[in-house]
Amino acid sequence: MLWLAVASQDAQRGNEVLQAHADAQLDEAGRRAASTVIDLDAETSECPACTGTIPQGSARCPECGLRFG
């Protein structure tokens, strides 16, 4: 799975980068998986790996343990 963690102001750009990459290299399922961008400044975020809820400031997903940063 491909994903990015970016600051709030960069979230839109992150989406664009992921979309461009996905369109170039992935099939339809891959494009869906690559469409997740984590906003670490948001109150909560959705984990790109397990779709669990990640609290603000958390260094890893409490559901699956995916690390950020």
Judged by the rule CB under 5 A, the positions of this chain that interact with Zn ion are 47, 49-50, 52, 61, 63-64, 66
Q: Are 7 and 41 in contact (CB under 8 A)?
A: yes
Least Å distance, CB 4 to Zn ion, is 15
Least Å distance, CB 31 to Zn ion, is 20
Distance CA 42, CA 2 (A): 20
Q: Where are the beta strands (DSSP E) in 1-69?
A: 4-6, 37-39, 44-46, 53-55
Least Å distance, CB 16 to Zn ion, is 24
Q: Which is nearer to Zn ion, 6 or 61 (CB)?
A: 61
